[in-house]
């Protein structure tokens, strides 16, 4: 059963789109460095107000697609208020189940949401199912031993090894942290 206590409060959406966070991550550059390119089909899971969705849309261009999924109608309304281009397709759905076709995604982007979803094993299986052969999953999330006082409760956070374990069990041949930060980590699975 979903543990809704873990879920980000949508009335606090502004925390996700403020200038400090923009400066911290510089999403267009961060995503370009990770190989997001024109024509790709990307799924932004737990997209929230669109902090990553809009730069993903810019990078994949009109020959690509960005599927922006969130459980929260409030979050999706904030995304729509930014007038995303037509190749952004919003989907309201409750993870871990993903109501999209098998083997379609070049990239599944999972930023600061894995720790909010129960059960995580089922989420990993869905990631595997929707990723096309040769496609990638990138999981960005909070470290339980992170330095800053912000972010979700430490008891909700996941160790990189836990996430890697679920992704490998789900059938990804490769799953490993590719970047480690003071507060966060980035895992690549393929």
Ligand X SMILES: C[S@@+](CC[C@H](N)C(=O)[O-])C[C@H]1O[C@@H](n2cnc3c(N)ncnc32)[C@H](O)[C@@H]1O
* Contacting range for ligand X; rule: CB under 6 A; set: 28-36, 41-49, 172-180, 181-189: 41-49
Q: What residues from 142 to 181 belong to the interface with ligand X (CB under 6 A)? A: none
Q: Which is nearer to ligand X, 12 or 83 (CB)?
A: 12
Instruction: Identify whether the C-beta of residue 43 lies closer than 8 Å to the C-beta of residue 65.
Output: no
Among 43, 55, 108, 116, the residue binding ligand X under the rule CB under 6 A is 116
Among 56, 68, 90, 117, the residue binding ligand X under the rule CB under 6 A is 117
Q: Which residues are paired to 92 by β-bridges?
A: 70
- Residue 54: φ, ψ to 5°: -70, -45
User: Site residues (CB under 6 A) for ligand X?
Assistant: 2, 7-8, 10, 16, 46-48, 51-52, 70-72, 75, 94-95, 111-113, 116-117
């Amino acid at each position: 059963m979903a543990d809704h206590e873990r879920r980000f409060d949508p009335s606090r959406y502004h925390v996700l789109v403020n200038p400090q966070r923009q400066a911290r991550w510089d999403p267009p550059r961060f995503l370009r460095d990770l190989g997001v390119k024109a024509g790709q089909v990307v799924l932004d899971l737990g997209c929230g107000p669109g902090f990553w969705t809009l730069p993903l849309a810019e990078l994949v261009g009109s020959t690509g697609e960005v599927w922006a999924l969130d459980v929260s109608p409030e979050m999706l309304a904030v995304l729509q208020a930014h007038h995303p281009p037509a190749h952004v397709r919003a989907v309201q759905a409750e993870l871990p189940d993903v109501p999209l076709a098998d083997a379609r995604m070049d990239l599944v982007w999972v930023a600061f949401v894995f720790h909010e979803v129960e059960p995580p094993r089922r989420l990993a299986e869905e990631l595997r199912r929707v990723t096309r052969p040769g496609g990638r999953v990138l999981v960005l999330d909070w470290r339980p031993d992170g330095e800053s006082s912000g972010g979700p409760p430490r008891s909700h956070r996941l160790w990189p090894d836990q996430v890697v374990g679920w992704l490998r069990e789900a059938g990804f041949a490769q799953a490993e942290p590719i970047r480690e930060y003071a507060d966060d980590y980035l895992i690549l699975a393929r």
